Amino acid sequence: MVDPKRPDNGDSGKSPNDEADLSTRLERLDSRLGEISEGRAGAQKDRARAASNTSGLGQAFRLSAEFISGVIAGGLLGWLIDRLLGTSPWGLLVCMLLGFGAGMLNMLRASGELKRDASSASSPGDATKPGRGPNDK
């Protein structure tokens, strides 16, 4: 920047000393900016790592809750069937197995694995063949 207090604002009166002073100041500024940017980059990596760990833990809790709720619901339904119909322990066993299957299905739906498996099951060439569209029989 130009100093308004100095009488000579042109480049013609600059001495080599002024240029050396300017270059050392620029080098110091560059090194300070580099340190600050490295610190910010490190902080951003730490925040991203913490967010990914937290989201992974949240997804694990969600998936386990999906599975456990299916098994518990099946067990309660089986227990009620056994109490009402007197078929102990067969209602509980059958409904627990059904609850296990329902829990697994819910877990796959929640994680998105079911959607990925369905899209990868069809071969890419099937959609391009004539008469092989989703509405064609």
Residue 57 resides in a domain? yes
pTM (2 d.p.)? 0.47
Residue 2 resides in a domain? no
Per-residue pLDDT of the chain (137 residues; tens, 9 = 90+): 555 555 555 555 567 788 888 889 999 999 998 888 888 877 777 777 766 666 888 888 999 999 999 999 999 999 999 999 998 899 999 999 999 999 999 999 888 877 766 666 655 555 555 555 555 54
Domain that holds residue 74: 18-121
Residue 131 resides in a domain? no
Residue 98 resides in a domain? yes
Domain count, the chain: 1
CA distance 20 to 14: 11
Residue 108 resides in a domain? yes
**3-class DSSP assignment, residue 30:** helix
Query: Given this model, what pLDDT does residue 70 score?
Result: 94
CA distance 97 to 104: 11
